[in-house]
Amino acid sequence: MINLFATGTPQEINAVLANRDQRAALQNKLVRSTSSDKSVVTLKLNIPGPIKNNAALTQLFKTGFATFKQALTIQRQIDWDQPTGPEAFLVVDGSPEKIKQRAVIFEDQHPLGRLFDVDVLTWQADLQQAQPVSRQDFGQPARRCLLCDQPAKVCARSRRHTVAELQAAINQHYQLLMETN
């Protein structure tokens, strides 16, 4: 079986937090400069553990990203390949609501969608920052855990599953996908 986590440079929490701050600054800039008839979309992989990027993970990201953006009219694209993981930022035609519905379908129905985090952002004036549109705003259920079908955020917060268990599930999911293609 393939191990997506066999190579790569382990990332320390400080690097992950610094990347999060850089991402937030870029998101704020993009959302503030985007007209109301367009949406800002960010995509990244949900990768547990210290290995966040390598050739296999980048290829997985590129494959899913290419599928997600097929039906979108992209006005701007920023590819961000960091040691903390591949990411992309898009400015696309369409309302945040319409684009979020497309993102939910991708995350829930595409074979790679479970491994992605697709956020559609809007400006929150009271917070003075970009915030993701919530699935619950559209009556959609919270994302499910890859292992136990509980809400993913609950499992993540409680650390219900080990990094090894999550990585094994991702490897198995990826292997099944590769065998069917």
Q: How confident is the model over 1-33, as pLDDT tens digits? A: 789 999 999 999 999 999 999 999 999 999 999
Please, what are the domains in the chain? 13-140 (3.30.70.60)
Question: CA–CA separation, 145 vs 158, rounded Å?
Answer: 12
30-45: average pLDDT = 94
pLDDT tens-digit readout, 117-150: 999 999 988 888 999 999 988 788 889 998 998 9
Beta bridge partners, 151, equal 144
Query: 43: how many CB neighbours lie within 10 A of its CB?
Result: 21
User: How is residue 105 written in tokens?
Assistant: 């379908």
